[in-house]
Amino acid sequence: MTIEVSDLDKMQAAYKEAVDAWVDTIHQEEALASGNHSEAEIDSWEAADFREEDAREKAKEAKKNYEGALREKFFKF
């Protein structure tokens, strides 16, 4: 299968978008970690952690797809 540059561009854009979303969730969690010390904050902090982990997994998957396509294009495997 031949990988087209336009396909690589799409995968690269998807990877960047996923990383940007991941960074946003990290900043959201960071803001909660810097807040008040209250019982209500615990639930918010845990939820933010789950969102961050989900975003991280999406970024890693997008990277894997993009990197795999690059390897296929340049190294033919």
How big is the chain, counted in residues? 77
Q: How far is Cα 4 from Cα 13, in angstroms, rounded to an integer?
A: 14
Instruction: Give the model's pLDDT for residue 2.
Output: 80
Q: How far is Cα 33 from Cα 42, in angstroms, rounded to an integer?
A: 9
The confidence band for 1, taking pLDDT boundaries of 50, 70 and 90, is low
Residue that has been written with the tokens 């946003």 in this structure: 24
Is 9 or 37 the better-scoring residue by pLDDT? Answer: 9
Q: Report whether 14 contacts 66 (CB < 8 A).
A: yes
pLDDT tens digits, one per residue of 32-75: 887 777 887 888 888 999 999 999 999 999 999 999 999 998 89
Q: Where exactly are the structural domains of the chain? A: 5-75
The confidence band for 9, taking pLDDT boundaries of 50, 70 and 90, is very high
Instruction: Give the model's pLDDT for residue 77.
Output: 58
Q: How far is Cα 20 from Cα 62, in angstroms, rounded to an integer?
A: 12
Q: Classify burial at 35, counting beta carbons within 10 Å of its beta carbon; exposed 0-12, middle 13-18, buried 19 or more.
A: exposed
- Output the six-digit token pair for 75: 């190294």
